[in-house]
Structure 1
Amino acid sequence: MTATAQKAENNRLFAVDRSATGRFWTLADADEALVRRLAPAVGGSDLLARLLAERGVTPERADAYLAPTLRESFPNPSSFADMDKAAEVVFDAILKKRRVTVFADYDVDGGTSSAILARYFRAWGQDLGLYVPDRLEEGYGPSPEAFRHLKETGSDLVITVDCGAAAISALEEAEQIGLDVVVIDHHLMSGHNPPTLALVNPNRPDDTSGQGHLAAAGVVFVFVAALNRLARQRGIAPPEGLPDIMAQLDLAALGTLCDMAPLHGVNRAFVRQGLAMLSHGQNEGLRALAEVSGIQKVETVYHATFMLGPRLNAGGRVGDPWIAAKLLATDDRAEAIALAEQLHGLNEERKAVEASILDQAIMQAEKALEKTPDRGVLIASGEGWHPGVIGIVAGRLKDRFHLPSIVIGWGKGLGPVAKGSGRSVPGVNIGDAIAAAAREGVILSGGGHAMAGGLSLEPTQLSAFDDWMVAHMAQFTAERAAALELAIDAILAPGAATPELVDRVAEIGPFGAGAPEPVFALQSVQISYARQVGANHWKFTAEDASGRLDCIAWRAVGAPLGEALQPGNRVHLAGRLKADEWNGRRRVQLDVMDAASA
């Protein structure tokens, strides 16, 4: 047994070896000396000090972690390779009134990045053109055809955001046809830098900024800061003064959260200060989207990530990929409402498409595991499965079965070949696996990073690809076993789950990637007042001698978790606390992640 496995065994909680979702539970282990040293930073609270210690926060970093500011954490733009060069090119283009187009990815990070630039250009009295590729027809990122189209329609300069760093053939074509290109990206790169006027990417091999954790929206925010700095150096400003880039912090925060960028360093400041701005609703597009989403105010990471995010992504998944970028950039109230309603409708369509594919994918996964219980990867596929939702479905499969999962779709109107999207568990690099399959000719192309990947293949290659992936993933047995661990931060009695406790825990937020929201366990509680809400959610009350707590298990109906939460059952619960306000009364709810028989 490895040291890590032995530690997990020693920390086993409530003797839960196999929960309703197939996991084992452990109680997080914190250095007691570190907890005591952190306590003064959180008003003497042992719980908050313990949560900080479990997240690797030291007393020296506690103040910056708890109260992140841009003043303390904002990077020097010049520390990024090519940042100063890019600023010179774009600022000169603004002054010379060249025709500039932003080429944006079709997700939230791309949309927020393009909107930050559009608003910056508008402050200088300039219109910024927009181009967003169609997911089905064009795929991800710039293509030679797209660049030729932009050149033919009069663009002098193209700024790619959230894409472009790996678009070698497209950038070589741009050089051939005399189209100037500046790339602003954050994706991993390999090999030589492609031909551009400037390539700003904290993850390019020769960049020494140390800001590789930034989302594209964060890199673009630093870029507009570099533009303002250059304008001050030259003594030039528009009539109303330099653009107020701080007014775009809401967009930087939204892109950071929806791209799941780790909340370290300046990302924490982006999100902390950006959420405050989001709550004021000063961006017309975001205010309209919040209204059609049924949110009075965007105040939390949940609102931004799980309410606004899916709606902004819906256009790129199942509709017009340009809508989100237009919405985020507009100052016209009527246009904002119309665009927000379109996105809301497309999101409803996306959910229906996703639900249908997910049901079929789960059946395929269950049959595959019944046939081969020890297989280390799940692959589900179907004709007519929309490429815009297969990534979401892959994530749902991964969460349900705790295995790397790949979902593949093809068919008329869905592109020339089958497209696949994969999601993985910690320790199993699915991007490397897909890239290796491509190198060996098992599929047409593919790659990605540790936790997610994409691929293209002919439907006739499916069987061979499944066999190849099962054989390749057989080596990761220890990593797959570790992925079944559910780490609990603290044990809580139902009666202790108060709004005041939720407020105190929020003091160490914001929570997100790299700064996980605390998971609490309730020991031996009884289920009562259970009922289904919505399509497949399960709402109930957990009771013990200390009191009662409202609970909800999302998408649990018809799943093992829902079966474990029947009225009268006595169970251990694991989940995250949420505060909600209804009719002027604040209450607390546990969002249930897992359950085990008590």
Structure 2
Amino acid sequence: MFCHIGSRQSRRHSPRFQQQPAPRCRRRGCQQEQVVRQHGPRQNAELLRHLLGFALGPRINAGGRVGEATLGVRLLTTEDPEEARQIAAQLSTLNEERRAIEAAVQEAAEAQIARQDNRAAIIVAGEGWHPGVIGIVAGRIKEKTGRPSIVIARDGQQGKGSGRSIAGVDLGAAIIAAREEGLLVAGGGHAMAAGLTIDDARLDAFSDWMDARLASSVSRARGAQSLKLDLALAPRGLTPSLVETLESAGPYGVGWPGPRIAIGPVHLIKADIVGTDHLRLIVGAADGASIKAIAFRAAESDMGQAILHSGKGRKLWLAGRAKIDDWGTRPAAELHLEDAAWAD
């Protein structure tokens, strides 16, 4: 949703910010190289910054989600280049299957969200949903709605569920309490994620109980949400060299998030939808500089709809992560948009 973007002093004061060399494969046909060959050619630096997270990681994970869980271990431990190639190809195929299954569950789950607009927690369930992707879908619904979300894969008289929470709401404690109340067959977790088993007949009662249990904590958490920033720029300051400098402090992840940048105020030149649900913006500054920004899976969000239906020239602030767009004839910097706020 739209919220005002605050500022804070930089939190980057670590020697990790110094340039680190990209990892290299020590033997021809190594595990990482075989996955990269299936994914497509990339530079060595990209192996560290992107491929481990977006090519190797998802493919290893896909084996456990929709295929054979041992494939990832075998890929990482084999000394045989040919075996690595075969396993990498199999994992790439499984990853494509996982993506198709995930997209189908995501679409079906999101169709149920509108009926829960006033609920503290989003709880959706469907017959035959693949249990290997419900955690991913729960996380995406949580990001889209800003509320704790639980996705339940029903199979006959019972369902298996996976939930993801927002900061300030202890979902695991709520699931454990629901189990102790007799609403669940099994369940547990921690503050940000939980799992459960539930009888079909208890779904409605469980949803009502969770709404009552989490209403006050969700309201407080949503009211206290803020977006922490590391850097504020004019559009002309977003350059490939800046992105490379920021990326040299990686790899980023939980506990060491990538720098978040605010850009603005800028005026809206163009806003449209690319792919199935991605919001693309072209924004400009008073000095004539312009940049591209993209918000993935955000076209139907409150932010996406507000921007798409606003008039050209409207002023706004943007916040997100600086990335390199290398699809054109030469690399260009762009913003992966996380939030925005009107500046007029």
Query: Cα offset for 1:384?
Result: 1.0
Could you say which residue in structure 1 is the equivalent of 2:133? 389
**Partner of residue 233 from structure 2, selected from 492, 500, 507:** 492
Q: Which moved more, 1:515-524 or 1:461-470?
A: 515-524
Counterpart of 2:38, as a letter, is V
Q: Secondary structure at the match of 1:335?
A: helix
CA distance in 2, matches of 1:520, 1:391: 29
Could you say which residue in structure 1 is the equivalent of 2:6? 26
- The 1:503/1:333 distance shift into structure 2, 3 A limit, reads same
1:167-316 equivalent positions in 2, closer than 5 A? 276-277=22-23, 284-296=30-42, 297=44, 298-316=46-64
Could you say which residue in structure 2 is the equivalent of 1:351? 99
Could you say which residue in structure 2 is the equivalent of 1:51? 11
Could you say which residue in structure 2 is the equivalent of 1:377? 121
1:527 aligns with 2:268: yes
Which structure has the bigger radius of gyration?
1
Query: Cα offset for 1:321?
Result: 1.8
1:360 aligns with 2:108: yes
Is the 1:564–1:595 Cα contact (8 Å) retained in structure 2? Answer: no
1:475-514 equivalent positions in 2, closer than 5 A? 475-476=216-217, 477-483=219-225, 485-514=226-255
TM-superposition CA deviations, 1:327-378 (whole Å, max 9, x none): 2222323322222222222222222222222222223222111xxx2x3211
- The 1:455/1:345 distance shift into structure 2, 3 A limit, reads same
**Partner of residue 79 from structure 2, selected from 313, 331, 336:** 331
Is the 1:493–1:523 Cα contact (8 Å) retained in structure 2? Answer: yes
Identity %, equivalent residues = 40
Q: Secondary structure at the match of 1:465?
A: helix
Q: Secondary structure at the match of 1:300?
A: helix
- The 1:411/1:472 distance shift into structure 2, 3 A limit, reads same
1:465 aligns with 2:210: no
CA distance in 2, matches of 1:506, 1:280: 23
Counterpart of 2:150, as a letter, is I
Query: Cα offset for 1:430?
Result: 1.0
1:115-130 equivalent positions in 2, closer than 5 A? none
Query: Cα offset for 1:591?
Result: 0.7
CA distance in 1, matches of 2:115, 2:149: 14
Counterpart of 1:399, as a letter, is E
Counterpart of 2:5, as a letter, is W
Counterpart of 1:327, as a letter, is L
Could you say which residue in structure 2 is the equivalent of 1:515? 256
CA distance in 1, matches of 2:58, 2:324: 22
CA distance in 2, matches of 1:286, 1:535: 30
Query: Cα offset for 1:531?
Result: 4.8
Query: Cα offset for 1:278?
Result: 5.2
Counterpart of 1:292, as a letter, is Q
CA distance in 2, matches of 1:285, 1:545: 49
Counterpart of 2:337, as a letter, is V
Answer 1 or 2: which has greater strand percent: 2
CA distance in 2, matches of 1:545, 1:24: 22
Corresponding pairs, count = 336
Q: Secondary structure at the match of 1:474?
A: helix
Query: Cα offset for 1:554?
Result: 1.0
Is the 1:564–1:596 Cα contact (8 Å) retained in structure 2? Answer: no
Could you say which residue in structure 1 is the equivalent of 2:174? 433
Could you say which residue in structure 2 is the equivalent of 1:33? none
**Partner of residue 588 from structure 1, selected from 328, 333, 338:** 333
**Partner of residue 151 from structure 2, selected from 407, 415, 421:** 407
**Partner of residue 576 from structure 1, selected from 316, 321, 337:** 321
Could you say which residue in structure 2 is the equivalent of 1:474? 215
Q: Secondary structure at the match of 2:120?
A: coil
Is the 1:407–1:420 Cα contact (8 Å) retained in structure 2? Answer: yes
- The 1:508/1:326 distance shift into structure 2, 3 A limit, reads closer
Is the 2:29–2:85 Cα contact (8 Å) retained in structure 1? Answer: no
Counterpart of 1:488, as a letter, is L
Report the TM-score, using the length of structure 2 for normalisation. Answer: 0.88
TM-superposition CA deviations, 1:279-310 (whole Å, max 9, x none): 77867222111222224244334332233222
CA distance in 2, matches of 1:279, 1:332: 14
Q: Secondary structure at the match of 1:593?
A: strand
Is the 1:281–1:287 Cα contact (8 Å) retained in structure 2? Answer: no
Query: Cα offset for 1:427?
Result: 1.5
Query: Cα offset for 1:276?
Result: 2.8
Unaligned runs of 5+ in 2: none
Unaligned runs of 5+ in 1: 1-20, 31-49, 68-271
**Partner of residue 561 from structure 1, selected from 279, 303, 324:** 303
Is the 1:279–1:299 Cα contact (8 Å) retained in structure 2? Answer: no
- The 1:22/1:525 distance shift into structure 2, 3 A limit, reads closer
Specify which structure has the bigger relative contact order, considering alpha-carbon pairs within 8 angstroms and separated by 6 or more residues: 2
Is the 2:320–2:338 Cα contact (8 Å) retained in structure 1? Answer: yes
CA distance in 2, matches of 1:585, 1:522: 22
Counterpart of 2:193, as a letter, is A
Is the 1:517–1:576 Cα contact (8 Å) retained in structure 2? Answer: yes
CA distance in 2, matches of 1:538, 1:501: 24
CA distance in 1, matches of 2:34, 2:306: 40
CA distance in 2, matches of 1:569, 1:279: 49
CA distance in 1, matches of 2:335, 2:160: 37
Query: Cα offset for 1:580?
Result: 4.3
CA distance in 1, matches of 2:339, 2:293: 12
- The 1:426/1:480 distance shift into structure 2, 3 A limit, reads same
Could you say which residue in structure 2 is the equivalent of 1:188? none
Q: Secondary structure at the match of 1:51?
A: coil
Counterpart of 1:361, as a letter, is A
